[in-house]
Structures are given as structure tokens and as C-alpha cells.
Structure 1
Amino acid sequence: MKNINRDLSLGECVVIYPPIANKFNKMQLDYYCGGDKNLRDALNEKGIDIDKFIEDVNVELEEFEFDNIMYINWKKKSSGELINHIVNTHHVKTLELLREIDPLLLKVFRVHYNHSPQSLKRIYRLFQSLKCRLEEHIIKEEVVLFPKMLEFNDNLVDDENKLSQRDNINNKEGKAKLREEMKDLMFEHKIKDELKVFKEEHKVRSEMKDRKHEHDTIKYILKELAEITGNYTAPKWACDSLKLLYVKMQELEKELFIYMHEESNILFKRY
């Protein structure tokens, strides 16, 4: 496995060594939507010793590779496998957390309104906006984007199989006949095939562009929530419900970081 170095982007670092995401989260480094920034520049901005950081991380990486035989490198998996993972892991977990947080936030909003009305109103409105956008985002991925991606992949495989079948004809007579049949139509088919691929690719990229814009909006809302809650630090007057609310909201934030990272830095870069 490749080692971490200063010229890698933040997104590439997380692909190589997923636990580094926890370090980036603590340093408030954006490795999903802003994952193209290289490690050197990101650490310089935070005033962190680059050589020491890289040395420590690569030691951890060696131990991680040795201990984690169950680790899955999604960059090496097919798009179909990665999409299946996103739907059955990240979509499920995100919706589950949204269902848990929603009534809990409403309870805290009602009970503690007089403690900090402006802050609680802001948190409540931001979360409702986040919830609405995430539910819509997930539905559009499952109903529109992911099926288009899989269809595009299937069509490419079909084209490759047709070429393979043509090349596997061994007898001269068969090959001559096939060449004759294809001669007049070859150019026409080529144009149609290229146009078909272009249209399919354009549809996928158009949908993908919309999902990326949604990532940016989600990222902005998460940043606002983190700031207004002091990175989910419960105030002294907080009850158990508020403490639990902040734990669940921070869990949602971490889940979304990994979810959007796998889309932005792995899946979307294939199309």
C-alpha cells in the first residue's frame, strides 16, 4: 500500500488510510468537498509540523495494514460494489440518525427554549434544512444517479463483449463474412455508439454535478451547526437529552464526512 506523503491531496490520504479522517476532523480540515487541497498546504495553514505528522501517520499506517485484514479499499472495488455499499451503509445510517435526532431536537427545543432561544432556533432551523436536503439527496441518488451510473457501466461492458465475440471468430470464412456485413455499417454504428456513450455520460455527469452542489450546501450547514454548538460542546446547564442530542449530531457529521468523501473522492471521479 502507498505511504502518506506531503503532495497527496487530503482526499487521497483518506482513501489510503481511512482513520486519518479522524485527525482531519479534529483539525477541521475538509477532505470531502475540499479534498483536492494537498496535505502540505493544509497542514501549513494549521501551523502543524508536516514531517512529524507524516512520520507518525505512516507508522500508524503500517500497524493498520497489519491489524486490519478486514479493511476494504473501496478504490479497488467496482462502482457497483461501492454504490451498493453507499446505499446499504451510508444511506441507511444517515436516515437512521435523522430519525433519532429529529424528535430529540424538538424535545430539547421545547424544554430549553428559554435558556438560549436564539441559538436553539438557529440549530432547529439548520437541522430541518439539513434533514430535508439529505432525504432528497439520498432519494435522487437511489432513483436517478446510481441507476444511470450502473446502466452506463453495463453498456460499456456490453460493447466490450461484442468486440470480444467478434475477435474470437477463428475461421477465415466467418471473419470474411462478418467483415463484409459490417463494412457498410461500420461508420454509421461507430457514430451512433459514440453518440450513445456521450449522451449517457452527459446524463451521469449532469446528475453528478447536481449532487456535488448538494454536497457543498450540506457542508455549509454542517459548518454552521458545528460553529453554533461549539463543535457539539454541551453547555453547563445541559440535561441528558441535550447531551445525547449533541452526541448524535456529531455522529451524523462524522458519518456524512465519510459518505461524501467516498462519493466525491472515489465514485464520482470515475465518471
Structure 2
Amino acid sequence: MQTLTDNILNVTLLEPRQKHPTIFLRFDELTEGESLTIHNDHDPKPLYYQLLGERGNIFVWEYVEQGPESWKVKITKRISTEGEETLGALAAADFRKAQIFKKYGLDFCCGGKKTVKQACAEKGLDVTKIEQELQQADQLPSSRPIPYTDWPLDFLADYIVNTHHSYVIKSLPDLRSYAHKVLKVHGSHHPELARIYELVEAINTELTSHLAKEEKVLFPYIKEITKAGKNTEPLHAAHFGTVQNPINMMEMEHEEVGKNLEEIRELTKNYTLPEDACASYSLLYRLLDEFEEDLHLHIHLENNILFPKVLAMEKQLQA
């Protein structure tokens, strides 16, 4: 028997084989904007992956309680916004608009699938003011932009590896070293440094695995799709099925790293140095700020340009 009150489902009362089918049934019954909160006795992260793989990025996953004995997750079905451009699409078409999103703290890379209205509503911002600034950006002179959207997909993938993956690999050892050093020296007076160190270590673990998966699995397949699109080689079936599956995984991992960096920015009050900051303290904050800046562009190129084009090309090849 299941407990279902105010759209709350206690899955601990279900037989194991009934859990995921029941949750999927309840999710499919939701209308846009409605939520289902599930209670479980362990982290239901495998459900996240299955839901993402089988339903796509049409939901918001929010932990209400995270252990150690009870987990509660609120799953909200996104409101469709056909006809409205997303933050990611706007930034991909004109990167000058990304500067406006940065100004107001609107996430155009990890949160790039939201519309301007959705993102402003979540942050309590005046959408009319921001839309006006976006319109004014069209009139601003700009230097010749890098034509990311015009590049072949295999070239863009190589660019991401050689520019952004290389930067991450080069930067992470210094970030970890200075986060640890500053914690040892200043941690007693600045307790937030302990959490910052934990987050830097989590980012290192996540990205080290993430980059390897892209370079060994996803990007080689993107190159195969590109060759097939040029009719130079046939497209072979991949072990992961459609390319949507690894892309879903990469986007989820982007979101996780993005949340960690956002928390660091909040803990540091936008990298504002305390009065007793030493040279290493200052360098740590500068490195973190630069790392976040690079990662935003890195994720933007993947989430908003590379991945949508790959999905469109695969669909065309399968037609």
C-alpha cells in the first residue's frame, strides 16, 4: 500500500519492483507546473538518471531532505515554453547578451534551457527591465565574435578539449593546493573555508571523471556523426543507444559543478576578500573567479551549441 497525500508518495511502503513504475506513473499524471514529492530510505539518484533518460529534461529535481535515514525529493514538471527563446539560445546567437545574464546572475549555461521570464521569476527580477537591456544589446557595436556556431561539430569538440579541458586540467591542482593552504592558515577565523575546500575537492572529482567520459566516449561519437553527415563514413550503432543518453548525463554533471561554484560564490560574497587576507587568500579567490568564468563559456559551448546540433544531426541521419 502507498501513502499519497497532497501529492506525496512514500515509496518505502512499495515492493521494490513497483517503485519506479509507480513513480513514473505519478509523474506522467502531473500537469505542467505540478509537483510530486517522494519519500525514500536511501538517495533516489538512480531514479534521476532513469527519469532523465526516458522522459528528457522536462522536470526540476529538488532535494527537500537528504538523509541519513530519510530522503525527500520534490519533482516538478517543467512548464513548456514553445515559441520563447531560452537563455542558452539567446547567448548562442549573440554572446553580448550573455554579459547581461552575468550582470543579473542568470545562469545561461547550466540553466540555459529556461526562458528569460522563467529565470527572472525564480530570482525575483524585473523581466521587463532585463528584456529592454537585451533589446538594447542588439544596437551595441561589437568586435568580431568567435564564430562558434559556424564551426563543424568535430572542430568545435576539438576546440573545447584543447582550450577548456586543458584549462581545467591545468587549473585544478592549483585550486586544490591553495584551497587547502588557505584553510590551514585562516580556517579558524573563517569557517566557510572548510566548505569551500570540500566544494573544490568535489569539483575536482566530478570534472576529472566528466572530461574523461567526454574525450573517450561522447566526443569520438560526435566525430563519427560529423563524418556520417558528410557522407564520408557510415554511422555505426553506439553501445549507449541515441546520443541523447550521454548528453543527458553530461548536462546533469554540468549542473552539479555549476551548483558547487555558485555555492562558493555565495560563501565568498562574490569573492570579497576579508581584511586579514594574505597573498594566497587573494590568489585563491582570483583563481576561483577565473575558473568559474572559463567554465561558464565551456558549458555554454556544449549545452547551447554543440549538443543541440549533434542531436539535430543524429535525428536527420536516422530519418
TM-score (norm 2): 0.64
> Residue 189 of structure 1 aligns with which residue?
none
In the TM superposition, what is the alpha-carbon distance from 1:15 to its structure 2 partner? 0.9
> Residue 301 of structure 2 aligns with which residue?
262
Structure with more contact order per residue of length (Cα contacts < 8 Å, sep ≥ 6): 1
Tell me the amino acid that sits aligned with residue 68 of structure 1: S
Q: Deviations over 1:121-147 (max 9, x none)?
A: 111111011012112211221121100
1:84 aligns with 2:153: no
Higher share in helix: 1
> Residue 250 of structure 2 aligns with which residue?
211
In the TM superposition, what is the alpha-carbon distance from 1:24 to its structure 2 partner? 1.7
Q: What SS class does the counterpart of residue 243 from structure 2 fall into?
A: helix
TM-score (norm 1): 0.74
Which whole-Å CA distance do the structure 2 matches of 1:52 and 1:231 have between them? 23
1:11 aligns with 2:85: no
Which whole-Å CA distance do the structure 2 matches of 1:145 and 1:16 have between them? 24
Which whole-Å CA distance do the structure 2 matches of 1:7 and 1:155 have between them? 32
Which whole-Å CA distance do the structure 2 matches of 1:13 and 1:232 have between them? 28
1:40 aligns with 2:123: no
1:232 aligns with 2:271: yes
Alpha carbons of 1:56 and 1:122: their partners in 2 closer, same or farther (altered >3 Å)? closer
Whether the aligned pair in 1 keeps the contact of 2:86 and 2:113 (CA below 8 Å) is yes
In structure 2, runs of 5+ residues without a counterpart are 1-82, 312-319
Out of 100, 119, 124, the position equivalent to 1:23 is 100
1:137 aligns with 2:210: yes
> Residue 252 of structure 1 aligns with which residue?
291
Alpha carbons of 1:213 and 1:45: their partners in 2 closer, same or farther (altered >3 Å)? closer
Q: What SS class does the counterpart of residue 267 from structure 1 fall into?
A: helix
Tell me the amino acid that sits aligned with residue 119 of structure 2: A
Which whole-Å CA distance do the structure 2 matches of 1:201 and 1:131 have between them? 26
In the TM superposition, what is the alpha-carbon distance from 1:200 to its structure 2 partner? 7.0
Matches within 5 A, 1:159-174: none
In the TM superposition, what is the alpha-carbon distance from 1:57 to its structure 2 partner? 3.5
In the TM superposition, what is the alpha-carbon distance from 1:268 to its structure 2 partner? 1.0
Identity %: 32
In structure 1, runs of 5+ residues without a counterpart are 1-5, 163-192
> Residue 128 of structure 1 aligns with which residue?
201
Report the RMSD for the aligned CA atoms in angstroms.
2.5
Which whole-Å CA distance do the structure 2 matches of 1:120 and 1:75 have between them? 39
Misfit runs of 4+, over 3 Å: 43-64, 196-201
